[in-house]
Structure 1
Amino acid sequence: MNTVQIQNITVGAQNPITLIAGPCVIEEPERTLKIGRAIKEIADRLNIPYIFKASYDKANRSAYNSFRGPGLKEGLSILAHIKKELGVPVVSDIHCITQIDEAAEVLDILQIPAFLCRQTDLVYQAARTGKVINVKKGQFLAPLDMKNVITKIEEAGNHNILLTERGATFGYNNLVVDFRSLPIMRSLGYPVVFDATHSVQLPGGAGTSSSGQREFVPYLTRSATAAGIDMLFMEVHDNPPEGKSDACNMLYVDKLEDLLKDVLAIDHVVKKHK
């Protein structure tokens, strides 16, 4: 397996699991930083490598008037500040080619949203930056279909690739995780990420917004870790019901540490760390 280097964090092969976590969208800068600091303190206590995430723009909201975030310029400025304050890498979604160059100046990982994973120009041009590219598998794709996405990135001369499982469409307004997808995607030669909170989303389940089933996050997280993953992606908030996006599936930050202790124990067994 190819390993991926993100600053001083090595991901893949038999390396311990890495955490990507933060609120779904950048809200007030102070609150967003506060959430990141709380997560980092937990990660530091448990000796888990940590990468901060938050979206500067939620471009795929269910309703036109839904909160989207501060936008590209202000959002990247906030992420740059968080990156400096916490001393950790940062990741956010990109949605169109015109965002790539500016985003690459700040972000350590350029994330391709699930709905856009087949957008050839977006994937290819992002890959040409040489940055780590995290592609979320579309809810409509089989895991082996990600081979085609990998090829597009490799054609750009980039082998810094992460593949994320975030659930597959299962009827209307529902997702299900086929845990076979994790070893299948891992067999393609690159590290695999499990998105534990989007996997419990109920897309469009609240009419003008998505709903979710936060209570199942721990079960899916432990199951995915047992299946063998390299990174764990979780959206975390100090008070999820107040969250301006994905309020129903974000994890309470005060529930994070106990769950990560389980993750570490399972990961240790699966990878047999010395």
Structure 2
Amino acid sequence: MAGPCAIEGRDMALAIADKIVTLTGKLGIPYIFKGSFKKANRTSGTSFTGIGDEKALRILREVSDTFGIPTVTDIHESKDAALAAEYVDMLQIPAFLCRQTDLLIAAAETGKAVNVKKGQFLSAGSMKFAIEKIRSVAPDATVALTERGNMFGYGDLVVDYRNLPEMQSLGVPVVMDCTHSLQQPNQAGGVTGGNPKLISTIARAAVAVGADGLFIETHPNPAKAKSDGANMLPLDQLEALLVQLVRIREAI
């Protein structure tokens, strides 16, 4: 799963998708385009939240139709589920909302695949309850879990790679979020920081451990991204990283 943090515009989304489709096609990597249609989880009230819900969702549908690929987007409220499900193939539950029963059930009721990010405050084993909530209303639902680190004090995250096999033991594919796991939240300025130079470290280790997939936010110019630029991978660095990851995957 890869793409920008948020949908900033049509041309940007299509350009990023075009680049990644070409790379993943050449390397034989299954690909889901990621883009948030809105950002409801900003620290500061002045932060960018989106270009308009349906406008962004229509862009996600255009990406899917243009390149023949599935798409995934975040939802933050139960009412978002049915709306987003009209446009995308997978609904994503943000980490800090992974215990919200009504949100999980609303996502399940759409019949779409659901990717649940593990809360920064939860153990891997506790994610079984998120799966149970989804399957209580959609027994055959396609569910994935995503590891994105655990809080380490007030302003940092740490990745415990034991979480990957433990969540895999719950019988679902497990994805490693290689960019959000490097966030440095709760900064004084109200904008989350990051440590993007370690993205390749997180990704290589996750593939070596046996992750089923990777989640990478990427942008042509992270410094000018409207959301989460501090922990995104520059788009021109993605190819070299994916080549390394395929070699590691083949080795194990």
- Distance in 2, matches of 1:157 and 1:64, equals 36
Cα distance, 1:46 vs structure 2: 1.0
1:162-218 C-alpha deviation (Å, 9 max, x unpaired):
000011000011000000000000011000000000011111235211000000000
SS in 1 for 2:25: helix
CA contact 2:116–2:144 (8 Å) conserved in 1: yes
* Structure 1 unaligned regions, length at least 5: 1-19
- Distance in 2, matches of 1:93 and 1:207, equals 25
- Distance in 1, matches of 2:80 and 2:213, equals 25
Alignment match, 1:85: 66
Identity, % of aligned pairs? 49
CA contact 2:156–2:183 (8 Å) conserved in 1: yes
CA contact 1:72–1:99 (8 Å) conserved in 2: no
- Distance in 2, matches of 1:188 and 1:24, equals 28
Q: Give the letter for the 1:29 counterpart.
A: R
SS in 2 for 1:106: coil
Structure 1 position 106 matched with structure 2 position 87: yes
Alignment match, 2:220: 238
Alignment match, 2:120: 139
- Distance in 2, matches of 1:257 and 1:206, equals 34
1:78-130 C-alpha deviation (Å, 9 max, x unpaired):
11111111211000001111111121111110000111100001101211222
- Distance in 2, matches of 1:51 and 1:206, equals 34
- Structure with the greater relative contact order (CA < 8 A, sep ≥ 6): 1 or 2? 1
* Structure 2 unaligned regions, length at least 5: none
Alignment length (residue pairs): 251
Which segment drifts farther, 145-154 or 261-270?
261-270
CA contact 1:137–1:143 (8 Å) conserved in 2: yes
CA contact 2:82–2:106 (8 Å) conserved in 1: no
User: TM-score of the superposition, structure 1-length normalised?
Assistant: 0.89
Structure 1 position 56 matched with structure 2 position 31: no
Alignment match, 1:43: 24
1:247-271 C-alpha deviation (Å, 9 max, x unpaired):
111001111111111111112233x
- Distance in 2, matches of 1:72 and 1:116, equals 19
Alignment match, 2:169: 187
CA contact 1:135–1:164 (8 Å) conserved in 2: yes
Segments of 4+ moved more than 2 angstroms = 204-207
Q: Give the letter for the 2:2 counterpart.
A: A
User: TM-score of the superposition, structure 2-length normalised?
Assistant: 0.97
SS in 2 for 1:61: coil
Alignment match, 1:163: 145
Alignment match, 2:47: 66
SS in 2 for 1:248: helix
Alignment match, 1:119: 100
- From the superposition, tell whether residues 225 and 127 of structure 1 become closer, same or farther in structure 2 (CA, over 3 Å): same
Structure 1 position 30 matched with structure 2 position 7: no
Query: Which residues of 2 match residues 7-26 of structure 1 at below 5 A?
Result: 20-26=1-7
Q: Give the letter for the 1:41 counterpart.
A: T
- Choose from 218, 225, 231 the match for 1:249: 231
